């Protein structure tokens, strides 16, 4: 007779225990964000030890994790202020400090204080770019374009420059300071584009409506991916150069339309055909 009584007591105790809360959806994108940060940290360590090649590829891998965290956040509808702030902190390290340290160790250390200042441009301009994005993300509606060059693109472009030309320095022998003469304008241009208001493509959502509207963009992203897989470092250089030139061309088109026509928002017209 005692057994049923004990069973009832056990059920009563079990019912009083607090129920376990489900794992928050924000955990999944935050994992990819932290992997992005981890890759940036390890990249800095490897470059400091002289392994610049693996350090550069880790910056590229950090870019992949950054794209995945954004994709997972949209897929799980887990976008939050916490996620935005964590992402920005990670990006400053992986796409600001890490590529700045890479180009300084690679070549700019030969310029003493000037090299330090030039190497500091990616993290400094990247921090400004991220701070502006965070403010606008809280007060403006979602857009199909980034305002200013995304910091991961800048970082991957610098990594691609190193990976492509590290063993081809003879191509720059005709310049005053060799490869440094080519690297300096690249760093300055990419840093300026980050703090500019030039629109650059954003990866669209992968829901049915977005796929239908941005079909051409998704096809282009697939072509980008295949090109990088096949041609690796040269593919990175080509794809991200094209991406940047496409954005600059769109910026020039918008400037011309606003300056010489009555169209107040030419970007809206361009979005409809992208």
How does pLDDT run along the chain (274 residues), one tens digit per residue? 455 555 556 556 656 555 555 556 667 788 899 999 999 999 999 999 999 999 999 999 999 999 888 777 766 666 777 888 899 999 999 999 999 999 999 999 999 999 999 999 999 999 999 999 888 877 766 677 888 999 999 999 999 999 999 888 888 888 888 899 999 999 999 999 999 989 998 876 666 666 667 678 788 888 999 999 999 999 999 999 999 999 999 888 888 887 777 666 666 555 443 4
**Could you please report the per-residue DSSP string of 108-175?**
GGGGTHHHHHHHHHHHHHHHHHHHHHHHHHHHS---SEEES--HHHHHHHHHHHHHHHTT-GGGGTTS
CA-wise closest residue to 35 among 93, 80, 75: 93
224, burial (CB in 10 Å: exposed 0-12, middle 13-18, buried 19+): middle
For the entire predicted model, the pTM comes to: 0.84
Burial 157-183 (b: 16+ CB within 10 A, else e): bbbbbbbbbeeeeeebeeeeebbbebb
């Amino acid at each position: 007779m005692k057994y049923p009584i004990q069973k009832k007591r056990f059920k009563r105790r079990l019912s009083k225990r607090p129920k376990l809360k489900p794992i928050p959806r924000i955990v999944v994108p935050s994992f990819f964000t932290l992997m992005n940060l981890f890759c940036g940290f390890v990249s800095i360590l490897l470059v400091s030890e002289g392994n610049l090649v693996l350090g550069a590829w880790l910056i590229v891998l950090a870019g992949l994790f950054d794209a995945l965290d954004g994709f997972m956040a949209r897929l799980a509808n887990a976008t939050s202020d916490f996620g935005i702030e964590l992402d920005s902190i990670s990006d400053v390290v992986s796409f600001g400090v890490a590529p700045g340290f890479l180009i300084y160790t690679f070549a700019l250390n030969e310029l003493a204080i000037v090299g330090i200042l030039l190497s500091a441009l990616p993290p400094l301009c990247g921090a400004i770019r991220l701070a502006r994005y965070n403010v606008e993300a809280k007060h403006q509606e979602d857009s199909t374009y980034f305002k200013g060059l995304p910091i991961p693109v800048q970082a991957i472009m610098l990594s691609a420059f190193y990976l492509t030309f590290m063993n081809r320095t003879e191509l720059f022998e005709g310049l005053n300071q060799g490869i440094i003469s080519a690297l300096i304008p690249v760093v300055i241009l990419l840093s300026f584009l980050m703090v500019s208001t030039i629109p650059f493509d954003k990866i669209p959502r992968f829901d049915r409506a977005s796929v239908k509207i941005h079909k051409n963009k998704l096809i282009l992203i697939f072509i980008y991916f295949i090109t990088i897989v096949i041609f690796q470092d040269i593919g990175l250089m080509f794809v991200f150069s094209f991406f940047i030139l496409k954005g600059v061309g769109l910026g020039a088109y918008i400037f011309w339309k606003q300056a010489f026509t009555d169209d107040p928002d030419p970007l809206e017209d361009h979005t409809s055909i992208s």
